[in-house]
Amino acid sequence: MTAEIIYQGQLRTQATHIRSGNQIITDAPVDNQGKGEAFSPTDMVATGLASCVITIMGIKARDKGIDISGAKAKVTKVMASDPRRIAKIEINLYMPEGDYSDKDKIILEKAAHGCPVRRSLHPDLEEVLNIIWP
């Protein structure tokens, strides 16, 4: 088992990661009858995509002896209606200072596009990944 989710009422959930005990609270967003006091479930999908991209790049970077500590992603999620769904996720990924060769950039960008979360999302979801090199 990966997680246990308990409905807290008032459109809030508490998810517990079984192995670590870490917890995440979600709230329905304001535009969908919620308080918007925490990540919404769809925020978590967008955030999960960005975290996955950075993690997969981190694995490849570590294997190549490249330090990408401090890489930062800014995520924008755009919702659609009828049906309500995520229409677009845009990730601006800011790479930290470093001496990246053209080959390093190609390797890391290819790794980013191989993220398993990305491969799991619906093909109609527009995904934009902008990698900003120093």
Domain range summary for the chain, segments of one domain joined by +: 1-39, 41-132
Each residue's pLDDT tens digit, 16-71: 999 999 999 999 999 999 999 999 999 999 999 999 999 999 999 999 999 999 99
Please report the pLDDT score of residue 67 as a whole number: 96
State the chain's maximal CA–CA distance in angstroms. 52
Please report the pLDDT score of residue 104 as a whole number: 97
98-101 long-range Cβ contacts below 8 angstroms, 24+ apart: 98/66, 98/67, 98/68, 98/134, 100/66, 100/133
Please report the pLDDT score of residue 70 as a whole number: 98
* pLDDT range class, residue 117, cuts 50, 70, 90: very high
Phi, psi of 110 (to 5 degrees): -65, -40
Q: Which residue has the tokens 């755009």?
A: 78
Each residue's pLDDT tens digit, 83-114: 999 999 999 999 999 999 999 999 999 999 99
The pTM score is 0.93
Please report the pLDDT score of residue 52 as a whole number: 98
Each residue's pLDDT tens digit, 73-90: 999 999 999 899 999 999
41-132 folds as GMP Synthetase; Chain A, domain 3 (3.30.300)
